[in-house]
Amino acid sequence: MTRQEENWEMAMLLQIPWHEANKIDSQEDRDFLMVKAKQMREHMEQQMKAQAQQNPIISAAPPELPNYLKL
């Protein structure tokens, strides 16, 4: 994953402003935040699946993240 893609995930999933994400130079910190972004994405997917199961109209279609959240 490029630095730009990492910044995008931090901005979209962790609500870290792009200019702040870009300032994070420590690879250890970036790796930690990417793990958290992955956890957030998984949590969002679980919520969407749960909502789809509760709503029969939505459950007819497979739950997916919106395009802007996909890698």
pLDDT at residue 55, as a whole number: 72
Q: For residue range 38-61, list pLDDT tens digits in order.
A: 999 999 999 988 887 887 665 555
Is the model's pLDDT at 15 over the cut of 70?
A: yes
CA–CA distances in Å: residue 56 to residues 4, 14, 31, 65, 66: 38, 30, 39, 18, 19
Q: What is the pTM of this model?
A: 0.72
Measured in whole angstroms, how far is the alpha carbon of residue 16 from the centre of its chain? 12
